[in-house]
Structure 1
Amino acid sequence: MLEINIADTEFKEIFSDIKNRYLSTANFPKFIIGTGLSIVMGVPGMGKLADELDKNFSSDKNVEYKKYWGECQSMVRNHGLEAALLTISNTKNDFVEKIREITGKFILESDYAVRENILKNSSGFEKLLNYLHKTVSVNKKIIDIMTPNYDLIIETIADKLNLTTTLGFKGNLFQKFDSELLRDPYKYYKKSTAILRIFKPHGSINWINRAGITYQTNDYCYLDKNSNCIEIIAPGSMKFQYGMTHNLLREHREIFNSVITDNESSHAIFIYGYGFNDKQFDTVFENTSKDVIVLTMDIKEEVINRAVCNKNWTLFYKNVIGKTHNTTNLSFMVYKGKQYKIDKNLWDLEEFVELFIGKL
């Protein structure tokens, strides 16, 4: 493996190439933002959710699910919550529903708890979004983000930046979904308006199911009182099936797929904090000719292998999942098929933005 420092002459050429391929107006990035952002912002990840599920399924009020949870516990301890939930049989629908309810309420409360901190303090993601707002093409001023996250961190930061946002909903207190608004926002907005278009194919904590219709509302008290109806896909074995059969979630997925695979569009794919655990989305990347950049602390070895074989991929990461934890001050980069040790944690969005964007 090669070694490189950001002060090296060789890295200056890499720096310029990364800015041109992944952060330029001419090859404007489309984003996939995973739970890495949520965790950095203070919304708990799978580990804390596992603790919350354990607390709930150990209580007397959920005694009917205690046996099912007990069957998952050793897998949770040894392989993590996501892997454990994938083993749940499709016949245990009530158990999966209860997991969805607990997850929805837990993320709702966690998101609300960190909101004030997000509004008070700047972050690398906020700086990145502000940069995109300033550099998006005047011919099509749309910033596209897909996220499997349930929380409202991206929406909160967009409000902080006064950036118009759409997830395809129209209305006031209880907004209804209109797929055309998501598909073509400029049927509803002036072309001079910069728009952040967010795709949430796994649902959102401000989507609520009332009598079979999904509404979007930002009334926290209402959401809290009706948290059992929050429209998200429970992590685990049912998420793929549910995501393909639920009309709203399916349209979010399909429209984003059409956007990211559009061969007539000149765009890069920027992936941050994403675990590559969604089979339907991951197939999109397998043979893409688009320039792809990935920033993540922990990465699967198969993603590294893909980047080594495809020179259009650039990776910044700290650890390889399943391998010995990296305790050094060095991180890793894959660039144009070559693997490097690098002296800056560019998998960390704060450090990446500081280097490649600087102060705005």
Structure 2
Amino acid sequence: MHALGEHLVTQIPKTLSPQDFDLWQMIYPEIQKEGLEAALLRYAPTASLEASIVQSSGEFIASAEAKIIAEVFSRSKILRLTKLLPHLIVPDSGIPIITTNYDRLVEVACEEGGLGVDTMFNGHFAARLEPEHSHWSFCRSARVVNRVPRVRFAKRAKVFKPHGSLDWYHRDGDPVRYAGSLPLPRLIITPGLNKFRSGYESPFDKHRDKGNESIDKAQKFLIIGYGFNDDHLETHLTPRIKSGVGTLIITHTLSEKARTIALSYKNVIALDFQSRTISSGTRVIADGAETDIPEIDLWDLDGLVKGVLSA
């Protein structure tokens, strides 16, 4: 988010009308001081300014994404989530993954790990939002045993993206998924005040509702790099954590909200980078107390897999 904010500060002024430029003059100092989300929460952009932010954000993230995907495709890089997947139990119904990021690296990591990916879109060229068709596309066999239907599905992840995706566009008024880049606005929700309005439009609403449904049914939570700053998810996630659902939070730096949750509930373990006295290590919050583990980066997904799950 910090890198994206810096990119917007330098690129956005080139595209603005005089009216939007005046508003941007108020927003960009806050980005430099408080960060992108705080700035857009303080000053709601106009529709035209938001369109410029979406366009510039999409270009910036797509460029970074393309470099990583090229490394994965050439086998010079393995994504951390790909390394994690063999250590997770994948239920027959699919493992739900909720991501507020726009990039498609979750999808890439899952496919590299041997899982199918259900995004609720069906088709290849201009895939339509068809949750049922997408679901049944993973059916591999069906038979009747003692008059009871038995259906077998491929191992898969169900990826929910309540803030949109780089491959979502509008076509004839309907959301479609297209893997390449088009000279059209992407369907992504920027941080700030306007995300609450946009979050109730299609396809964001379908992904938000399915994501929240998965949160309501979950028996455990693994939360990676999330700051607990999204009301669309918090109305379901935080109450479930407070109800006692076992939760592991790993991130480089815990937000104040995440730290408060970890300290307040004994069903929560949180791991983040311990930088107070040493150059590397992990801060562990468990049972309402903080402990430092030097020289072991368990807060990093790669370090967690190597240091704990593969031990």
TM-score interval (norm. to shorter)? 0.7 to 0.9
Give me the CA root mean square deviation: 2.1
1:210–1:229 CA contact under 8 A, matched in 2: no
Alpha-carbon distance, 1:186 to partner? 5.1
Alpha-carbon distance, 1:187 to partner? 7.7
- State the partner residue of 1:261: 216
- State the partner residue of 2:175: 214
Residue identity matched to 2:123: G
Matched, 1:243 2:199: yes
Distance in 1 (CA, whole Å) between partners of 2:12 and 2:57 is: 12
- Three-state SS of the structure 2 residue aligned to 1:136 is coil
- State the partner residue of 1:148: 100
Alpha-carbon distance, 1:181 to partner? 4.8
- State the partner residue of 1:332: 283
Alpha-carbon distance, 1:107 to partner? 1.4
Matched, 1:199 2:149: no
Distance in 1 (CA, whole Å) between partners of 2:118 and 2:237 is: 25
- Three-state SS of the structure 2 residue aligned to 1:77 is helix
Alignment of 1:174-193 (within 5 A): 174-181=126-133, 185=135, 189-190=139-140, 191-193=152-154
Give deviations 1:4-41, integer Å, cap 9, x for gaps. xxxxxxxxxxxxxxxxxxxxxxxxxxxxxxxxxxxxxx
Alignment of 1:227-242 (within 5 A): 228-242=184-198
Alignment of 1:19-30 (within 5 A): none
Alpha-carbon distance, 1:318 to partner? 2.2
- State the partner residue of 1:94: 48
Distance in 2 (CA, whole Å) between partners of 1:57 and 1:287 is: 38
Alpha-carbon distance, 1:168 to partner? 0.5
- State the partner residue of 1:29: none
Distance in 1 (CA, whole Å) between partners of 2:93 and 2:186 is: 31
- Three-state SS of the structure 2 residue aligned to 1:299 is coil
Distance in 1 (CA, whole Å) between partners of 2:64 and 2:257 is: 32
- Three-state SS of the structure 1 residue aligned to 2:165 is strand
1:181–1:188 CA contact under 8 A, matched in 2: no
Structure 1 stretches lacking a partner, 5+ long: 1-45, 320-324
- Three-state SS of the structure 2 residue aligned to 1:172 is coil
Alpha-carbon distance, 1:144 to partner? 1.0
Distance in 1 (CA, whole Å) between partners of 2:32 and 2:214 is: 38
Residue identity matched to 1:55: T
Give deviations 1:26-82, integer Å, cap 9, x for gaps. xxxxxxxxxxxxxxxxxxxx22222222222332x4353322221112211211111
Alpha-carbon distance, 1:234 to partner? 1.8
Residue identity matched to 2:270: L
- Three-state SS of the structure 2 residue aligned to 1:234 is coil
2:251–2:299 CA contact under 8 A, matched in 1: yes
| Number of corresponding residues | 292
2:228–2:257 CA contact under 8 A, matched in 1: no
Matched, 1:300 2:255: yes
Distance in 2 (CA, whole Å) between partners of 1:305 and 1:56 is: 36
Q: Which of 111, 116, 131 is equivalent to 2:87?
A: 131
Alpha-carbon distance, 1:269 to partner? 0.6
Give deviations 1:134-180, integer Å, cap 9, x for gaps. x424xx25111000010011111223233211100112211101133
- Three-state SS of the structure 2 residue aligned to 1:205 is strand
- Three-state SS of the structure 2 residue aligned to 1:58 is helix
Matched, 1:346 2:298: yes
Distance in 1 (CA, whole Å) between partners of 2:270 and 2:120 is: 32
Q: Answer 1 or 2: higher relative contact order, Cα 8 Å, separation at least 6.
A: 1
- State the partner residue of 1:11: none
Distance in 1 (CA, whole Å) between partners of 2:220 and 2:209 is: 19
Residue identity matched to 2:59: K
1:317–1:333 CA contact under 8 A, matched in 2: yes
1:97–1:234 CA contact under 8 A, matched in 2: no
Distance in 1 (CA, whole Å) between partners of 2:54 and 2:227 is: 20
Q: Give the TM-score normalised by the residue count of structure 1.
A: 0.75
Off by >4 Å, runs of 4+ in structure 1: none
- State the partner residue of 1:79: 34
- Three-state SS of the structure 1 residue aligned to 2:78 is coil
2:81–2:110 CA contact under 8 A, matched in 1: no
Give deviations 1:104-147, integer Å, cap 9, x for gaps. 22212221122111332223321102333xx424xx25111000
- State the partner residue of 1:43: none
Q: Which of 1, 8, 11 is equivalent to 1:56?
A: 11
Structure 2 stretches lacking a partner, 5+ long: 141-151
Alignment of 1:310-329 (within 5 A): 310-318=265-273, 326=276, 328=278, 329=280
Matched, 1:110 2:110: no
- State the partner residue of 1:33: none
